[in-house]
C-alpha cells in the first residue's frame, strides 16, 4: 500500500498490480515490481484510456476502455488491482480464475 501511495503521489499509475509483481526480500520487506506498463501523469487528476494490464486484475473501468475511450480511469484502478491481489493471496487464485 505504501508503494502505491508513493507512486500515486508521484503521479504514476502502475497498471499491473498482481501477486506476481509483489516481491519479498530476505529481510521481509515487500517491494512492488514490473513498471513496464506504468504511466506517468502530468497532473493528479489526469485519466487514462489505454487498455493495459493483466485481465484478472483489471478494474472494470480499464476493461471498458477496450470498447469505449469515453470512460477513462485513474489511480483507483491500481487500488482495485490491489484488492484482487489480496483475494488472490488469500485464496491462492484470483477471483473467477
Q: Is residue 97 part of a domain?
A: no
Structural domain including 80 reads: 2-91
| 61 is a domain residue | yes
Residue 76 resides in a domain = yes
Structure confidence at residue 15 (pLDDT): 86
Residue 72 sits in a domain of what CATH number?
Answer: 1.10.510.10
Q: Is residue 81 part of a domain?
A: yes
Is 40 a domain residue?
A: yes
Confidence (pLDDT) at 3: 92
All three cell numbers of 25, joined, read 526480500
Q: Is residue 59 part of a domain?
A: yes
**Nearest CA to 79 among 19, 9, 13, 11?**
13
**pTM as predicted:** 0.79
The count of domains in the chain is: 1
Active site residues: 16
Rounded-to-integer distance, Cα 74 and Cα 81, Å: 12
Contact 75, 46 (CB under 8 A): no
Taking only the tens place, the pLDDT of each residue in 29-56 is 999 998 877 778 776 656 666 666 778 8
Residue 96 belongs to some domain of the structure: no
Does residue 66 have a pLDDT over 90? no
Amino acid at each position: 500500500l505504501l508503494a502505491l501511495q508513493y507512486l500515486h503521489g508521484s503521479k504514476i499509475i502502475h497498471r499491473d498490480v498482481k501477486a506476481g509483481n509483489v516481491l519479498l526480500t530476505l529481510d521481509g520487506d515487500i517491494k512492488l515490481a514490473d513498471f513496464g506498463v506504468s504511466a506517468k501523469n502530468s497532473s493528479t487528476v489526469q485519466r487514462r484510456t489505454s487498455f493495459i494490464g493483466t485481465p484478472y486484475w483489471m478494474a472494470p473501468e480499464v476493461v471498458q476502455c477496450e470498447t469505449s475511450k469515453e470512460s477513462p480511469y485513474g489511480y483507483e484502478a491500481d487500488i482495485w488491482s490491489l484488492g484482487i491481489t489480496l483475494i488472490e493471496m488469500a485464496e491462492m487464485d484470483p477471483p473467477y480464475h
